[in-house]
């Protein structure tokens, strides 16, 4: 199934959702949710509602609050994809189209009033029994919209009796319309209609299904452009233009476009764009509407990049771009104490959640994953499209979040959990938070097949994360911890996926004799020993030698250890004097690690691999968390 057919089938399977903001209540980010549009409809943000009676007389005008501006409007094939030039929407549009006195009040000669009025009249004549439509046409024909809005104190004017594009008076006296406009200029105000007729149960035109159906019938009665639809295989009315505004209301990029008939687009291959491919108007409208709806409801956005995962009958599924915390929604609400989710607990929660999804999609065989990005301001490219078996998809998601796992930390909620990092986090760890936008998005796309198809993580990304984690001196403490956690998760996933005899765990394994792992343990003990001496001598806490030399240690472990070991002597003396129990503890720990070394491995000064970070992290974690009630306080090791 191709991407357009998948979206078309999704629209058909969810036709009952048309016009509903189905996920508005569950959306925690309070973002605007784009509904599934009726056929030949779109949406725009309206700033003014004009209220009429059944005879087309002006009653009042209201400023639309910021959170209620999204408005479903009828669109033509051309206006739905308009980017420049005069091309009116049929009913609700900007002042330059709907106001007959636009030129008078703005001194702007670029008005589309006549085009708008002619189009509205054609629709009215097609459906003469539509009282709402007749009332709107009767009012628009008067050409007094701006005069009425000015007299109603909705729009302010300057001393020349022109609309004020910017408020120049006192700030406290700013008219409410400017708050509703946001970044939109006053010329771009969009007007929507309410027609109050006795017995009319839905006066809000943008919510009136009878108006939706009237426009659909009118559109389907219009001129024919018959041809073969490559999606359905039927001979039908083909689209000549395709919708824009896919990712948001201001998005002018199109997935399908063929407006360069005078250039080199078809030369040498085709005589006409119709020979390239044919898509019916209905299929194009429904597919693009479904894509808008999916991206708005459950898609992932990163600047111009959009990624969405769905199945045609079970929509609201977590996607492969989430980290484990987002997938399981583990954040506690107003939780005063730190919560820790172990790997076993996370795995159990994950299996329970995914089992629920598997039951929900038991009768659904396919899951679709689609990525979009802007090739140019006017062109939207499909960066990837995958069709997968639904059970395979969920099994692979579970595999990633239970295998590419290390301890993660949510600073905001004081939440420690065993989970997988998100693709964006991996990209920012590998290349830095200020990573080039294009490189970050490319990295996310490279990682998605690793999650949904169990492909190996690219080695260069693993190496980049390990290098960043070893470069401790160049990072803030929070960023460094994130880098270590991410690097450990990726290396462990990579190593365990290729090795059958030995797998690394998230806890300290005292039987491992691999030189990198052991050198990581030595560095951790050296760091904690020096910190313990600082505390014992009531010295100001400062970066330890182990922290400063971490990057050099990872590249030349033996020679650096010789330097570091000598630097520990003053701190060992401090512990001997002030905390002899602590000194004995660290001596035993260092001796036990040295005993595990093969002498050849110990004197090998070549660079260590990612095991170094695993040993370092596990050793520190073990020493922080270990407690013993049988020891006196001075003999117990320091805690973090």
pLDDT tens string 68-81: 888 999 999 888 87
pLDDT of residue 23: 42
Radius of gyration of the chain (CA): 32
Tokens of 165: 């594009």
User: Is the pLDDT higher at 582 or at 318?
Assistant: 582
* Model confidence at 626: pLDDT above 70: no
* Model confidence at 448: pLDDT above 70: yes
CB atoms closer than 10 angstroms to residue 545:
18
Percent share of the chain, pLDDT over 70: 88
- Top mean pLDDT of 138-152, 224-238, 400-414 is at 138-152
Helix (H) or strand (E) holding 74: strand 70-74
* Model confidence at 43: pLDDT above 70: yes
Confidence of residue 585 (pLDDT cuts 50, 70, 90): very high
Q: Give φ, ψ of 45 to 5 degrees.
A: -90, 120
Confidence of residue 376 (pLDDT cuts 50, 70, 90): confident
Confidence of residue 640 (pLDDT cuts 50, 70, 90): very low
User: Is the pLDDT higher at 225 or at 62?
Assistant: 62
Among 137-146, 148-157, 170-179, 407-416, name the one with the lowest average pLDDT.
407-416
Range 128-141 average pLDDT:
96
pLDDT of residue 417: 83
* Model confidence at 412: pLDDT above 80: no
Among 152-166, 308-322, 370-384, name the one with the lowest average pLDDT.
308-322
* Model confidence at 12: pLDDT above 50: yes
pLDDT of residue 165: 83
pLDDT of residue 29: 46
In angstroms, the CA 565 to CA 632 distance is: 27
Q: Tally helices (H) and strands (E) across the chain.
A: 24, 15
* Model confidence at 224: pLDDT above 90: no
pLDDT of residue 348: 81
Range 17-31 average pLDDT:
58
Confidence of residue 261 (pLDDT cuts 50, 70, 90): low
Q: How does pLDDT run across 161-194, given as a tens digit for each residue?
A: 888 888 877 888 888 888 888 767 787 899 999 9
* Model confidence at 631: pLDDT above 80: no
Confidence of residue 439 (pLDDT cuts 50, 70, 90): very high
pLDDT of residue 595: 95
pLDDT of residue 517: 96
pLDDT of residue 22: 46
DSSP-assigned beta bridge partners for residue 42: 73
HEC string for 405-441: CEEEEECCCCEEEEECCCHHHHHHHHHCCCCCHHHHH
Q: How does pLDDT run across 591-601, given as a tens digit for each residue?
A: 999 999 999 99
SS3 content of the chain, % helix, strand, coil (to 5): 45, 15, 40
pLDDT of residue 363: 64
* Model confidence at 144: pLDDT above 90: yes
Among 24-38, 55-69, 352-366, name the one with the lowest average pLDDT.
24-38
* Model confidence at 263: pLDDT above 70: no
pLDDT of residue 572: 94
Confidence of residue 260 (pLDDT cuts 50, 70, 90): low
* Model confidence at 629: pLDDT above 60: no
* Model confidence at 312: pLDDT above 80: no
Confidence of residue 33 (pLDDT cuts 50, 70, 90): confident
3-state SS, residue 23:
coil
* Model confidence at 219: pLDDT above 50: yes
User: Is the pLDDT higher at 259 or at 126?
Assistant: 126
The reported pTM is 0.83
Q: Name the DSSP letter for residue 285.
A: H
How far, in Å, are 237, 239, 278, 453 from residue 225 at the CA level? 5, 8, 10, 42
* Model confidence at 408: pLDDT above 60: yes
* Model confidence at 534: pLDDT above 80: yes
pLDDT of residue 390: 84
- Top mean pLDDT of 120-129, 153-162, 255-264 is at 120-129
Range 454-480 average pLDDT:
91
Helix (H) or strand (E) holding 306: strand 305-310
* Model confidence at 549: pLDDT above 60: yes
Percent share of the chain, pLDDT over 90: 52
pLDDT of residue 327: 82
pLDDT of residue 336: 40
Nearest to 589 by CA among 525, 494, 506, 533: 525
* Model confidence at 410: pLDDT above 60: yes
Helix (H) or strand (E) holding 371: strand 366-376
* Model confidence at 254: pLDDT above 80: yes
In angstroms, the CA 556 to CA 541 distance is: 27
How far, in Å, are 80, 93, 384 from residue 73 at the CA level? 10, 9, 31
pLDDT of residue 377: 78
């Amino acid at each position: 199934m191709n991407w357009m057919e998948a979206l078309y089938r999704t629209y058909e399977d969810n036709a009952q959702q048309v016009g509903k903001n189905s996920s508005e209540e569950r959306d925690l980010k309070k973002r605007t949710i784009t509904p599934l549009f009726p056929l030949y409809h779109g949406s725009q943000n309206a700033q003014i509602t004009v209220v009429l009676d059944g005879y087309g007389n002006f009653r009042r005008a209201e400023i639309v609050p910021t959170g209620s501006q999204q408005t479903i409007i009828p669109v033509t094939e051309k206006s739905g994809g308009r980017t420049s030039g005069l091309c009116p929407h049929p009913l609700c549009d900007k002042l330059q189209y709907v106001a007959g006195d636009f030129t008078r009040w703005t001194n702007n000669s670029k008005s589309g009033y006549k085009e708008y009025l002619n189009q509205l009249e054609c629709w009215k004549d097609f459906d003469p029994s539509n009282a709402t439509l007749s009332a709107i046409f009767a009012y628009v024909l008067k050409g007094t919209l701006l005069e009425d809005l000015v007299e109603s104190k909705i729009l302010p004017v300057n001393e020349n009796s022109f609309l004020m594009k910017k408020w120049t008076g006192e700030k406290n006296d700013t008219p409410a319309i400017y708050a509703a406009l946001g970044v939109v200029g006053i010329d771009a105000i969009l007007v929507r209609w309410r027609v109050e007729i006795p017995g009319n149960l839905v006066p809000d035109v943008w919510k009136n299904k009878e108006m939706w159906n009237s426009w659909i019938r009118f559109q389907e009665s219009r001129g024919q452009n018959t041809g073969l639809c490559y999606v359905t295989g039927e001979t039908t009315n083909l689209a000549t233009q395709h919708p824009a505004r896919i990712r948001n209301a201001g998005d002018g990029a199109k997935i399908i476009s063929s407006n360069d008939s005078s250039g080199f687009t078809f030369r040498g291959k085709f005589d006409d764009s119709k020979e390239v491919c044919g898509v019916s108007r209905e299929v194009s409208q429904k597919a693009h509407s479904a894509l808008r709806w999916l991206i708005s409801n459950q898609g992932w956005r990163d600047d111009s990049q959009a990624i969405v995962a769905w199945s045609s009958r079970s929509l609201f599924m977590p996607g492969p771009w989430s980290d484990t915390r987002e997938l399981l929604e583990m954040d506690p609400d107003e939780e005063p104490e730190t919560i820790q989710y172990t790997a076993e607990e996370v795995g159990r929660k994950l299996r329970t959640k995914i089992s629920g999804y598997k039951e929900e999609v038991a009768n659904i065989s396919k899951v679709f994953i689609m990525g979009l990005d802007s090739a140019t301001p006017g062109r939207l490219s499909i960066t990837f499209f995958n069709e997968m078996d639904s059970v395979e998809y969920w099994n692979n998601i579970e595999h990633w979040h239970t295998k590419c796992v290390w301890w993660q930390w949510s600073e905001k909620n004081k939440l420690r959990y065993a989970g997988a990092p998100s693709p964006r986090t991996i990209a920012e760890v590998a290349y830095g938070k200020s990573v080039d936008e294009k490189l970050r998005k490319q990295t996310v796309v490279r990682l998605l097949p690793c999650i949904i198809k169990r492909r190996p993580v690219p080695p260069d990304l693993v190496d980049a994360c390990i290098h960043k984690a070893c470069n401790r001196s160049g990072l803030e403490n929070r960023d460094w911890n994130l880098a270590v956690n991410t690097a450990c998760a990726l290396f462990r996933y990579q190593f365990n996926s290729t090795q059958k005899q030995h797998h690394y765990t998230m806890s300290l394994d005292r039987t491992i004799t691999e030189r990198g792992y052991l050198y990581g343990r030595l560095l951790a003990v050296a760091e904690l020993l020096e910190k313990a001496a600082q505390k014992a001598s009531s010295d100001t806490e400062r970066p330890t030698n182990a922290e400063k030399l971490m990057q050099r240690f990872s590249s030349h472990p033996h020679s650096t250890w010789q330097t570091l070991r000598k630097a520990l002597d003053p701190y060992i003396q401090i512990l001997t004097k002030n905390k002899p129990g602590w000194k004995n503890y660290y001596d035993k720990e260092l001796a036990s690690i040295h005993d595990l070394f093969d002498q050849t491995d110990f004197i090998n000064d070549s660079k260590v691999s990612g095991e170094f970070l695993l040993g370092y992290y596990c050793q520190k974690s073990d020493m922080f968390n270990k407690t013993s009630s049988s020891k006196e306080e001075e003999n117990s090791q320091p805690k973090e």
